[in-house]
Structure 1
Amino acid sequence: MLYQEKHRPQLHFTPKENWINDPNGLVYYEGEYHLFYQYNPHGSDHANMNWGHATSTDLYHWEELGVAIAPDELGTIFSGSAVADKHNTSGLFESDTGGLVAIYTQDGKSQQQSIAYSTDKGRTWTKYEGNPVIPNTKIKDFRDPKVSWHEDSKQWVMVLACGDHMQFYGSPNLIDWTYLSSFGKEYPSHIGVWECPDLLYLPVENRSKKEWVLIVSINADGPNGGSAVYYFTGNFDGKEFHPNEKPEDALKWADAGKDFYAAVTWDNTEDTYWIGWMNNWQYAGVSPVSPWRSAMSLARKLSLYEKDGDLLLRQEVITAEGNEEAISFPGATIASGEKESYAISDTAEIDLQLAKTTGSSEWGVTFTTDQGEAFRLEIDQQSNAYTFYRNQGITDFSEDFPAEVKGSLHKKEVKTLKAIVDKSSIEIFLNDGLFTATNTIYPEGTITQLELFAVNEAVQVENITWSKLHSIW
């Protein structure tokens, strides 16, 4: 029954069994994308944290390899990152071509940073005998190191989550670390702790420049309750991060859904890709699935979009080429108060291109099951917002799960809509991934139909395509 259970994702990575949460140690090395992750090998709750391990050649199909790094006398293995030390800056490898180095938090009497290294493409790891490389006795939350090479200052840079702010450290060799600076105490939000940071250098579309982006995961205080990811744009000079946003500015959420958290990027790639944990700490421990608990989002390629001086994160979802059976429908005009229905499968990619809407149009799509359950996305241009309704299906496991999940359109007209439908999730990408919303669902039935509806005025659709996506298992 493994991989065939009710609600088991067929397009998203899950372990065969037991608990997972944050993606860790993302690195591309010698033809493989590595996905490490927080893993409990002994049960379906958050405990006994190890690093689990999976690999992929296309960021879509994954092979689970089991436990990679296990607890020791310093504590359990919390979140962190991995890098390709291609020039053996650490001196941990016999060859000048180096290998993989993992940097992770150990949760024991306090939270400290340790490292391990691998000479066999991440299959086995040797822990550094001088661990921890960054000790800690004072700060309660001192974790989730994300490390990357900063070319301008010729050093490894670590960004570390410290409760209500981030700290930056620098190192020539991944072993000896020097404190550089802190950022964030003057910024919202501090209802929950800051976690799982990342520091990115992303291209700006249609511009001959790049900009720095600082990622912050926060639990709680997300835009729709619970955990979520937001970001700052700005400049990093090798020591300090200088944001474009002022403390009074509205937070920029990477994903307005309820179920996208702890997202971090792969090291050693030409383009920038990331993946998130597809869950929310409000109900992660009681989600109605077994023998696994939790999944990863689909991987996404990142860039920045600039308009009127404002920088927004764009996310292009990754699926496998040639993995689909595409069906196209002719364009349609949906009259006010009317709808059009299309038969689809419950593992599908849906693409809509709109010929034209107005600043006051209200329209959307509904995903309907063979038992009459409806999961609706409504776009309201006049209110500058979209709402995903997931009040149906299995919802009674947590009072925080049923929701009307809202997101901002940043005063931009919606021209394209992509939806990735899986057995227990729907990922929405508007305007080619400029606005995203990731939400888990637990329908009693099977999604079989897509309804396109118009509320207050006609909607003209240029093209409708849906593709049946085959299982990754």
Structure 2
Amino acid sequence: MYDEDNRGQFHFSPRSGWMNDPNGLLHYRGTYHFYFQHAPDSLVWDTMHWGHATSPDLVHWQQQANALEPATHPGDLWSGGGVVDGRNTSGLKDGDHDPILVFSGTQGVRMFYSLDGGMTFSAYDEGRIIAQPSGQESRDPKVVWHEPSQTWAMVVWSNDNGNGADFFVSPDLRTWERTSRYVTDWFFECPDFTPMPLDGEVVWVLRDARGSYVVGDFDGREFRTDWTEPRTITANPGGAAGHYYAAQSFDNMPDGRVVTMAWQGLNHGKVWTGNASFPVQQRLVATPDGPRVFSEPVDELASLRQSTTTRGPELLETQLEPLAGTTYELEATFDLSEASTGSFTFRLRSTREVTYDIGAGLLDGVPVPPAADGSLTIRLLVDRGQLAVFAADGAYYACYNIDFTADDSIELTTTVPLPLKSLTLHQLASIW
């Protein structure tokens, strides 16, 4: 069933049924846990469960039994976050494993805990509400450790006086105090809240389901930012069930990386609907326009590389000798230092074009200037139903579901002679 023509071969999708938002992403003792919104017996959104998949490397995923089920876990099992309580602040530890706690619920937050490494969960205190957000509607709790205050923080979307985020604080993950609210029209659903280094200091990135984000300070009780408008993680932001939605970062990463995965809702087959985006590692970079989140594929992608083709350096006159592939990674670096007009285009499987306008400095219509030396690198991840585009060391990131044809052609054309410094094509193996 994993070999349907349009099922991604290195993007996770459920064996069967519907999936949407990533939930409770975390790392524990060498295993990455990816929980997700799941309707196992439906091809459309239905009664929510928490599906579960595990991986040793963020790339090869194995689906496990559902982690949360409505028959045994109370409340609406909608989106939420998860943490590893390695300090046992909750006092729930009983045995060798650290407690793993996940949070869910609408119009009130409920907690579920695991004492077997994240495989099975029990409802805390019979599923009572442990945190009550403001407003008539609320959902999608995300929990993170705040190192300076040695406490836990929770952010929850709610509609009190418009869209916004309620902030809570807790010493033990069981008792929560609501401390502040950040109100802004753009902020809707599925918050992610992440500390990230910038110029030797730690700042906080608050983002919503569409990938809109602002950068600010968090003192353990209140989030503040001087940004008046958000930026977006991807160059193609959209809504639910689109190309990229509800990205969440992993908790308890062993190497300190910020790694996120999102829901892509436009890929489906005979027995399944939806897939996860390929995981990206993110960093905050100081730019002339202010701090920006840069995104690149996780380094573990290299484990999928099979045969490799290289080209360059050479002068690209009009068209590169055709290449072929259906699931692959392609990276090309161009020298634009002497070029002032024209464009070059990748045409992928006779279905999708990716174009850079040299004179305007636009990649598919988005400003992406070359590096100081005039070079520009573009990196493509192409799967059976997915396309990710990266450029300029991760300053540009776009994430798509694409209904590719069966054609395996890869074409690179230019309207002006252009130095191609290098091109590398890696055919990628299936994770299944």
Q: TM-score, normalised by structure 2?
A: 0.90
Cα distance in 2 for residues equivalent to 1:166 and 1:360: 46
Residues 63-462 of structure 1 mapped to structure 2, 5 A cutoff: 63-71=62-70, 74-95=74-95, 98-105=98-105, 107=106, 111-134=107-130, 136=132, 139-163=135-159, 164-185=163-184, 188-189=185-186, 194-204=188-198, 207-217=199-209, 228-245=210-227, 247=228, 249=229, 251-257=230-236, 259-269=243-253, 270-279=256-265, 284=266, 289-308=269-288, 310-318=290-298, 319-324=300-305, 325-335=307-317, 338-357=318-337, 360-369=340-349, 373-387=350-364, 406-409=365-368, 415-446=376-407, 448-455=408-415, 457-462=416-421
Cα distance in 1 for residues equivalent to 2:338 and 2:150: 50
Farther off after superposition, 96-105 or 288-297: 96-105
Alignment check: 8 A CA contact 2:339 2:418 kept = no
- Give the 3 Å change call, closer, same or farther, for CA 114–423 of structure 1 in structure 2: same
1:289 Cα deviation (Å)? Answer: 2.4
1:74 Cα deviation (Å)? Answer: 4.2
Alignment check: 8 A CA contact 1:58 1:320 kept = no
Cα distance in 2 for residues equivalent to 1:375 and 1:156: 45
For 1:171, the aligned partner's letter is S
For 1:465, the aligned partner's letter is T
1:325-378 CA-to-partner distances (Å, cap 9, x unmatched) read 22111223234xx22243121100000112234684443333343xxx331011
- Give the 3 Å change call, closer, same or farther, for CA 157–235 of structure 1 in structure 2: same
- Give the 3 Å change call, closer, same or farther, for CA 363–134 of structure 1 in structure 2: farther
Cα distance in 2 for residues equivalent to 1:21 and 1:410: 34
1:383-406 CA-to-partner distances (Å, cap 9, x unmatched) read 45322xxxxxxxxxxxxxxxxxx5
Indicate the residue corresponding to 1:394 in structure 2. Answer: none
Farther off after superposition, 42-51 or 254-263: 254-263
Cα distance in 2 for residues equivalent to 1:183 and 1:305: 24
Cα distance in 2 for residues equivalent to 1:256 and 1:104: 29
Cα distance in 2 for residues equivalent to 1:355 and 1:236: 42
Alignment check: 8 A CA contact 1:101 1:117 kept = yes
Structure 1: unaligned runs, 5 residues or longer: 218-227, 388-405
Indicate the residue corresponding to 1:220 in structure 2. Answer: none
Cα distance in 2 for residues equivalent to 1:81 and 1:25: 4
1:76 Cα deviation (Å)? Answer: 2.8
SS at match of 2:66: strand
For 2:212, the aligned partner's letter is Y
Alignment check: 8 A CA contact 1:275 1:299 kept = yes
- Give the 3 Å change call, closer, same or farther, for CA 210–333 of structure 1 in structure 2: farther
For 2:259, the aligned partner's letter is Y
For 1:296, the aligned partner's letter is A
Cα distance in 2 for residues equivalent to 1:141 and 1:357: 53
Count matched residues: 417
- Give the 3 Å change call, closer, same or farther, for CA 114–408 of structure 1 in structure 2: farther
For 2:61, the aligned partner's letter is W
Alignment check: 8 A CA contact 1:202 1:302 kept = no
Cα distance in 2 for residues equivalent to 1:211 and 1:359: 39
Indicate the residue corresponding to 1:8 in structure 2. Answer: 7
Cα distance in 2 for residues equivalent to 1:434 and 1:61: 26
For 2:409, the aligned partner's letter is Q
1:209-255 CA-to-partner distances (Å, cap 9, x unmatched) read 332211112xxxxxxxxxx311111211111112241x2x4x31101
1:7 Cα deviation (Å)? Answer: 0.2
1:434 Cα deviation (Å)? Answer: 1.3
- Give the 3 Å change call, closer, same or farther, for CA 136–148 of structure 1 in structure 2: closer
1:157 Cα deviation (Å)? Answer: 0.3
Structure 2: unaligned runs, 5 residues or longer: none
Cα distance in 1 for residues equivalent to 2:233 and 2:6: 26
Cα distance in 1 for residues equivalent to 2:128 and 2:152: 17
Cα distance in 2 for residues equivalent to 1:10 and 1:179: 43
Cα distance in 2 for residues equivalent to 1:374 and 1:295: 20
Q: TM-score, normalised by structure 1?
A: 0.83
1:173 Cα deviation (Å)? Answer: 0.9
Farther off after superposition, 301-310 or 146-155: 301-310
CA-atom RMSD in angstroms: 2.3
Alignment check: 8 A CA contact 2:133 2:178 kept = no
Indicate the residue corresponding to 1:464 in structure 2. Answer: 423
For 1:156, the aligned partner's letter is W
- Give the 3 Å change call, closer, same or farther, for CA 233–48 of structure 1 in structure 2: same
Alignment check: 8 A CA contact 2:81 2:141 kept = yes
Cα distance in 1 for residues equivalent to 2:405 and 2:414: 27
Farther off after superposition, 236-245 or 12-21: 236-245
Indicate the residue corresponding to 1:398 in structure 2. Answer: none
Cα distance in 2 for residues equivalent to 1:264 and 1:92: 25
SS at match of 1:139: coil
For 1:83, the aligned partner's letter is V
